[in-house]
Amino acid sequence: MASKRGEAVYRIYRALTYCVSPLVHLHLRWRKFRGREHSLRWRERLGCPSAPRPTGRLIWFHAVSLGEGLAAIPVIKCCLEMRPDVNVLMTTTTASAFEVIKNRLPSNVIYQFAPLDIPSAVDSFLRYWRPNAVMLIESEIWPNLIMGAARNGIALTLLNGRMSTTSFRNWSHPVILPLITLMLSKFSLILPLSTIQGINFQLLQAPPFIIHYPGDLKCAIANFDISEGETKSLEEFQAQLSHRKVWMASSIHKGEEKVFIGAHNMLKQKHADILTIIVPRQPQHGQDLALKLREEGATVALRSRGDNITPGTSELKDFYRLTPIAVIGGSFLKGSAGHNIAEAAAAGCAVVTGHHVGHFSHMVAEMQRVNPLSVLQVPGEKLVEVVNQFFDNFKILEAHRVAAKQAYHALSSGIVKKLWEMLHFHIFMKSISRDDVDDVEKLNITEKL
């Protein structure tokens, strides 16, 4: 009965998304006109491919944006290493993620934009790429995608699965619950971000036997190689900063600039040589912020404008190597959801964050459990006091830096290996290898004929 109700709700959803498809097409063109979609590859969002499908087995990894996409890369590399016979397709939805991830993926990975969850786009995408398995990252639970994959016999996995409190409440609504229950029943494997998230999936009636917890995949995203040239450039730039007091505010959101500009102005009264590195979450926010600071008389260099202030890189992980102190934004205003602290910890920064960290609260708690000094959570009004303490007391600063790095290594060790073992057993052995069985069966039938 529950399955029939879920099917009925899905039919309504599919009909609605079919009806609004023309409006979605217009909205996509409007986003392209405003520069929010890739100017040349925006049609991929409608299921129109821009690359040929290779022969053989193909695994599709899908993430919504940058953080989730970066979390998938270690798994993709492991997959290609362990199963070189398998092709990998990676998709994301945002142009900002595309510009970063395309340079980090192995050269033999196909990278496309993901289709919108409208029937025509999803059906066209699945028909062209014909994936053997789909790996969805975190919260990418879309009805047309999931039901379309299941209808075509494609194995489904949810990696680092999570949902916000609001999403969980919405999915739990009596009208919607049959749909999410139906969709979760189509998965072969669910690997939640935390045990609490695993419980949430069970409360939404996901089969308990498909839920396994290997650890938070985002703890492993800092393990990226860096070229010899980039290393030399970073070291030279670090040498230039060695005589200055440096701290950094990363991934800040609109509204938080008041916290960090205020902190910079107060810190400058005591430390005249201070250098504050601010990395906004959105590029446009950086331009607005630079204009505001110049109006206040501050000396500002803007990386996106081409000012020579960083060693030829725009990646956050490299900025973290320039500073001993990293304050993670998106956490100082009520309603914020935080950002990943793993990269800052891996770089050996003293990690500071606000109290509004959303689903990253699990990562913060786990790191603090390993070492209480690894992550310091403070309200905005205490930020100046904390940074001043780090500047004035080298031993305290080093204790926090060492603690953060130790906690990161303790949590990240073996996550990808554990995850691969689960994928290999539940997906590759049972689903991907089925192609081999089918080929043998076809061969036997041909020989008999």
d(CA 374, CA 372): 6
How confident is the model over 346-382, as pLDDT tens digits?
Answer: 999 999 999 999 888 989 999 999 999 999 999 999 9
How confident is the model over 298-350, as pLDDT tens digits?
Answer: 666 665 555 545 444 446 777 888 899 999 999 999 988 888 999 899 999 99
Return the bridge partners of 135, or none: 61, 157
Q: Which CATH architecture has domain 228-412?
A: 3-Layer(aba) Sandwich (3.40)
d(CA 402, CA 399): 5
Per-residue pLDDT, 314: 47
Query: What is the rounded average pLDDT of the residues 40-58?
Result: 95
d(CA 347, CA 343): 6
Query: What is the rounded average pLDDT of the residues 39-58?
Result: 95
Q: What are phi and psi of 104, to 5 degrees?
A: -105, -20
Please tell me whether residue 211 adopts helix, strand or coil conformation.
strand
Per-residue pLDDT, 289: 72
Token digits for 34?
């405003």
Residue 226 has pLDDT above 60, yes or no: no
Return the bridge partners of 383, or none: none
What is the domain partition of the chain in residue ranges? Answer: 1-213, 228-412
Per-residue pLDDT, 202: 96
Residue 448 has pLDDT above 70, yes or no: no
How confident is the model over 269-308, as pLDDT tens digits?
Answer: 999 889 888 888 776 666 667 677 666 666 666 655 555 4
88 DSSP 8-state letter: E
Q: Are 223 and 74 in contact (CB under 8 A)?
A: yes
d(CA 323, CA 249): 10
Query: Per-residue confidence at 261, pLDDT binned at 50, 70, 90?
Result: confident
Token digits for 392?
């004035």
Query: What is the rounded average pLDDT of the residues 207-233?
Result: 74
Token digits for 330?
């998106």
- To the query of whether residue 381 is one of the catalytic residues in this protein, the response is no
Catalytic residue among 44, 68, 256, 343: 68
Query: What is the rounded average pLDDT of the residues 426-445?
Result: 53
Contacts of 342 (CB under 8 A, 6+ apart): 218, 219, 220, 221, 222, 363, 408, 412
What's the CATH number for 1-213?
A: 3.40.50.11720
Q: How far is CA 15 from CA 8, 10, 119, 126, 302, in A?
A: 11, 8, 9, 19, 48
Per-residue pLDDT, 239: 74
Q: Are 69 and 113 in contact (CB under 8 A)?
A: no
Q: 185-194, 225-234, 314-323, 386-395: lowest mean pLDDT where?
A: 225-234
Residue 442 has pLDDT above 80, yes or no: no
- Enter the pTM of the model: 0.79
If you search the block for the tokens 């602290």, which residue do you land on? Answer: 341
CA angle 26, 20, 110 (to 5 degrees): 65
The amino acid sitting at 331 is: S
Per-residue pLDDT, 348: 93
Please tell me whether residue 338 adopts helix, strand or coil conformation.
coil
Per-residue pLDDT, 445: 30
d(CA 169, CA 200): 10
Q: Would you state the torsion angle of the CA atoms of residues 66, 68, 74, 80, taken in this order, to the nearest 10 degrees?
A: -90
For a pLDDT cut of 90, what percent of the chain falls above it? 58
Query: Per-residue confidence at 429, pLDDT binned at 50, 70, 90?
Result: confident
